[in-house]
Structure 1
Amino acid sequence: MQPPVDRIKLSQSAKDQLIKLKRVTKIPNWNVLCRWALCRSLAEASIPSPVPIPADSNLEMSWQVFGGAIADQLIIALKQRCYQDGLGTDAETLATQLRLHLHRGIGYLAGDPNLKSIEDLLRPLENHT
């Protein structure tokens, strides 16, 4: 399945938030945290705000590293979400929405005062708000 992007480069703000999340959850890999963040944002009912997000950090990963064994499922989930939101599923829209959802999800996880361990990621979504 064709990925929405070949490489993902994060903002410095997102990198800083991921550093905090690595410390709190003890999850050592950026890509695993980013997958959780993407899924967290996709589960949110609202569409992410179309704000410009700088690619100003040195944190970058390939789609293969980001998606890992569930890369195809992440693409399907992103396409479904874009379809539901009436945004279309062309390559540019998918790339933009991936970036917006990923950064929003990182912000949600980093801003969750109840997230204090890896086990807290497993709590039902309704307890995250």
Structure 2
Amino acid sequence: MEPPVNTIKLSQTAKDQLLKLRRHTKIDQWNILCRWGFCRSLAEASIPSPVPIPADSNVELTWKVFGGEMSDILILALKQRCHNDKLGTDKETLAHQFRLHLHRGIGYLAGDPNIKKIEDLIAIATKK
């Protein structure tokens, strides 16, 4: 399945937020934390604000590394979310929405005062 982007370059703010999450959760891989953030944003009912996000950090991931074995599922989840939000599912829209969801989700996780360890991430995912 065709990914919305081939390379993901994070903002410096997102990098700093990921560093905080790494310290708290002890998850060292950027891609795993990014997946958690992306999914956290998709779970939010509102559409992400269309704010400009600079690609001003030195953190860069390929889609293959970001998505891993879940790559196709993440692409489908993004397409479904764009459809539900009455946005297009063309490559440009998907790329833009992916970037917005990724950064918003990282911000949500980093800003959550209840996330102090990996079990706290799991509790968020399993909360009803």
TM band (smaller chain): over 0.9
State the partner residue of 2:65: 65
In structure 1, runs of 5+ residues without a counterpart are: none
Matched ranges for 1:14-25 at <5 A: 14-25=14-25
The CA deviation at 1:124 is: 3.9
The residue type equivalent to 2:42 in the other structure is L
Q: Does 1:82 align with 2:82?
A: yes
**Aligned residue runs from structure 1 range 90-109, under 5 A:** 90-109=90-109
Q: Which residue of 1 aligns with 2:11?
A: 11
| CA positional deviation for 1:113 | 0.2
- Which runs of 5 or more residues in structure 2 are unaligned? none
- Output the TM-score relative to the length of structure 1: 0.96
Percent same amino acid among aligned pairs?
72
- Aligned counterparts of 1:29 and 1:85: Cα–Cα separation in 2: 30
Query: Once the 2 structures are TM-superposed, how far is the Cα of residue 108 of structure 1 from its aligned partner?
Result: 0.1
TM-fit CA distance, 1:2: 0.2
Task: Look up the equivalent residue of 1:117 and give its one-letter code.
Answer: K
Q: How many residues align?
A: 127
Shift of 1:117: 0.4
- Cα RMSD for the two superposed structures: 1.1
One-letter code of the match for 2:17? Answer: Q
Q: Equivalent residue of 1:123, what SS?
A: helix
Q: TM-score normalized by structure 2?
A: 0.97
Against the structure 1 CA distance between its residues 46 and 118, is the aligned structure 2 distance closer, same or farther, given a 3 Å change threshold?
same
User: C-alpha displacement at 1:123, in angstroms?
Assistant: 1.2
- The separation in 1 between residues aligned to 2:60 and 2:23, in whole angstroms, is 19
